[in-house]
Amino acid sequence: MPSNVTKARLKAGETVFGCFVRYPDATLIEVLGYQGWDFLVFDGEHGVIEPRDCEHMVRAAELRDVTPIVRVPTNQPSVILRLMDTGAHGLHVPWVNSGAEAEAAVRAVKYQPRGMRGLAAIRAADFGQRAPFSQYTAEANAETLVVVHIETREAVDRLGEIVAVDGVDVIFIGPTDLSHSLGVPGQVQHPLVQAAMAEIVATVEGSGLALGIMVGSAQAAQEWQRRGARYITIGFEALLAPAMRGYLAAARET
């Protein structure tokens, strides 16, 4: 498979920036690819993206040398298999609450000897046309990026065992779901949520893994960089809505 530039940059200690997209449209991904993103995340959890859509979106991202990553709806091998087979270079796994669940995610993404992902002549393997499976599986195991979401109180409490799982690359804070888990849905600035996020930051620091976060603005991205985050994402809507509202407000001035 192609070299995963985003993963290489993270391993080198750099910071990377990505955008979440929940709309199953390859043309949109191609346009976004011109904007300078390091990676794009295709949201199959809170969107309507299916494997066929994902495959086209991966192709569009690859046209502009942007790393295509997919968020699966659930931590199940059969679901992970279908989306990874489209050629995605990495995976976001939601609601990982223990070391065992993180291990299951890694094993579903990786081939033998690290994992148990099903092997076939699919797009991710260049349809079996470029290289023998032995070469492809070794490349895939090295290049695929595994991002696990920490979104519950249980996950925060068991984060020490999660970061110890070989093959996890990024610990990703999901602020909204974390607030929901803590009984203050949507209140990401609530002291309970802020304290939990501080615990995550402290545990990830020194683990060798990258800290990831979803932000809502450039200012928040800068703040999280100061706190040690190196895998920083924003939702497409968080960029689109202010730009459109700003334009309309200015255009309607007389």
Residues with active-site annotation: 46
CB 33 within 8 A of CB 195: no
| Whole-angstrom distance, CA of residue 48 vs CA of residue 157 | 32
- Closest among 7, 31, 244 to 141, alpha carbons compared: 7
| Whole-angstrom distance, CA of residue 88 vs CA of residue 62 | 10
Placement of tokens 């895939």 in the chain: 140
- Closest among 1, 20, 112 to 69, alpha carbons compared: 20
CB 96 within 8 A of CB 148: yes
| Whole-angstrom distance, CA of residue 145 vs CA of residue 135 | 18
| Whole-angstrom distance, CA of residue 101 vs CA of residue 98 | 5
- Alpha-carbon torsion (238, 89, 96, 200), positive or negative: negative
Beta strands 39-43 and 67-71 are: parallel
The gap between the terminal CA atoms of the chain, to the nearest Å, is: 55
